[in-house]
Amino acid sequence: MSSKNTYILGIESSCDDTAAAILCNGNVLSNVVANQSIHEKYGGVVPELASRAHQQNIVPVVDQAIEQAGISLSDLNAVAFTQGPGLMGSLLVGTSFAKSLAYGLNIPLIDVNHMQAHILAHFIENEGSEKPEFPFLAMTISGGHTQIVRVDAHFKMTVIGETIDDAVGEAFDKSGKILGLGYPAGPEIDKRSKLGNPKAFKFTKPKVAGLNFSFSGLKTAILYFIQKQLKENPQFIEENLDDVCASIQYTIIEILMDKLKLAVKETGINRIAIGGGVSANSGIRAALKQAESQYGWKTYVPAFEFTTDNAAMIAIVGYLKYLEKEYADQTIMATARLKL
Ligand code: KG4
Ligand code: ZN
């Protein structure tokens, strides 16, 4: 293999997906994810089970990533892994695996912040998707986080707003639970929203100062609304499911867009990138597209495979740090509450 090529293995194990990817000079050669269906019947991620499943999945997932990339372990230039934030038991599996592999191969080990990775996923070499120009605003919307980040350079990021309680993905998932949908409910609410009337029911938006978010009140409002409707009509959910989903999604998107508008106003930056699982949502994608023509914003939406948790986003951060020779050493530890 040419010595000019840089091969990075990325490993992601922060929550319930075990993932490994190989990038060559920032291009994705393989991007493997093993989802853990075990959590579905519990309606949420069970940390103990997640950690055990990661232990079972990590070796086959990494093997598959190497094989699909058509390279061998000895071609790797570095191993990048998610240090945090995430579930401790889950992070430990990826962290110890990455440390041992880098040690065994005698190549650099690179620590990656999962939230930074959701943002830097936009720098994966990908035909048809443009890389954001600095400075830009990134809104990371996932099952664990909701943040607006000012990005001045790859590694110069400042959180300018975040949720004070639930993440936006939780708002989708918990609303879905109230409606009897499976876990995670985000994708199904999205699908049903396309068939329903977004103005059928009105939910009050939370009043939170500045650029911070709050979603726990919305969840309670939905719960009380459904309980009240069910008292009058036990078939309310079945008869109105698409309209309820569309109305919930509409409210959530309004909350996100209101804060983005304020962030653009306060910073004077109108380049907006989104990342994280909820950025797969068709409603937020459409709202951003509309903002381009309505307000003259430039928006960046990642390819679907790089929105939910994946290891290609970990590997791209690994590659960018590798170019700067920013390596970790063997004393590094998984950090559940790692800050941006
Ligand atoms: O980034 P991610 O895979 O994991 C975390 O780091 O949390 O995000 C998962 C979240 C879940 O809450 C899921 O319901 C939500 O992303 N999600 C969606 C959609 N696809 C995934 N929410 C709304 N619409 C979607 N299409
Ligand atoms: Zn994530």
User: What angle (nearest 5°) sits at the alpha carbon of residue 172, between those of residues 56 and 83?
Assistant: 40
Residues 6-27 have pLDDT tens digits of 999 999 999 889 999 999 999 9
Do 263 and 139 lie in one domain? The reply is: yes
Give the pLDDT score at 251. Answer: 98
Spacing, Cα 291 to ligand 1 middle (Å): 22
Q: What is the mean pLDDT of the chain?
A: 95
Q: Which domain holds residue 136?
A: 132-301
Q: Is residue 338 part of a domain?
A: no
Atom of ligand 1 nearest to the CA of 168: 12
Residue with tokens 């600095």: 134
Q: Is residue 268 part of a domain?
A: yes
Count of beta carbons in the 10 Å neighbourhood of residue 209: 6
Atom of ligand 1 nearest to the CA of 114: 6
Spacing, Cα 135 to ligand 2 middle (Å): 22
Mean of pLDDT values over 60-65: 98
Q: Is residue 187 part of a domain?
A: yes
Spacing, Cα 129 to ligand 2 middle (Å): 20
Do 73 and 201 lie in one domain? The reply is: no
pLDDT at 42 over 80: no
Do 242 and 112 lie in one domain? The reply is: no
User: What is the Cα–Cα distance from 315 to 323, expressed in whole angstroms?
Assistant: 12
Q: Which residues neighbour ligand 2 (ion) by CB within 5 Å?
A: 142, 309
Do 225 and 245 lie in one domain? The reply is: yes
Return the ligand number nearest the Cα of 183. 1
Q: Is residue 212 part of a domain?
A: yes
Q: Ligand 1 test: best mutation among 13, 172, 194, most atoms within 8 Å of CB?
A: 172
Q: Ligand 1 test: best mutation among 115, 163, 168, 278, most atoms within 8 Å of CB?
A: 278
Closest CA to 22 of 53, 52, 85, 64: 64
Mean of pLDDT values over 169-176: 97
Do 315 and 295 lie in one domain? The reply is: no
Amino acid at the residue 2: S
pLDDT at 213 over 90: yes
Q: Is residue 127 part of a domain?
A: no
Spacing, Cα 229 to ligand 2 middle (Å): 34
Give the pLDDT score at 68. Answer: 98
Do 277 and 192 lie in one domain? The reply is: yes
Atom of ligand 1 nearest to the CA of 17: 3
Do 196 and 313 lie in one domain? The reply is: no
Do 194 and 155 lie in one domain? The reply is: yes
Residue % of the chain over a pLDDT of 70:
99
User: What is the Cα–Cα distance from 100 to 250, expressed in whole angstroms?
Assistant: 46
What CATH number has the domain bearing residue 72? 3.30.420.40
The count of structural domains within the chain is 2
Q: Is residue 224 part of a domain?
A: yes
Do 166 and 292 lie in one domain? The reply is: yes
pLDDT at 2 over 80: no
| Closest residue by CA, ligand 1 atom 7 | 143
340 vs 91, residue with greater confidence: 91
How many angstroms separate the Cα of 189 from the Cα of each of 57, 137, 169, 184, 308? Answer: 29, 26, 11, 10, 16
pLDDT at 46 over 90: no
Do 33 and 154 lie in one domain? The reply is: no
Q: Is residue 153 part of a domain?
A: yes
Give the pLDDT score at 3. Answer: 59
Do 81 and 182 lie in one domain? The reply is: no
Do 29 and 114 lie in one domain? The reply is: yes
Mean of pLDDT values over 183-201: 97
Give the pLDDT score at 92. Answer: 98
Q: What residues line ligand 1, using a CB cutoff of 6 Å?
A: 15, 142-144, 169, 172-173, 184-187, 190, 276-278, 280-281, 308-309
Q: Is residue 334 part of a domain?
A: no
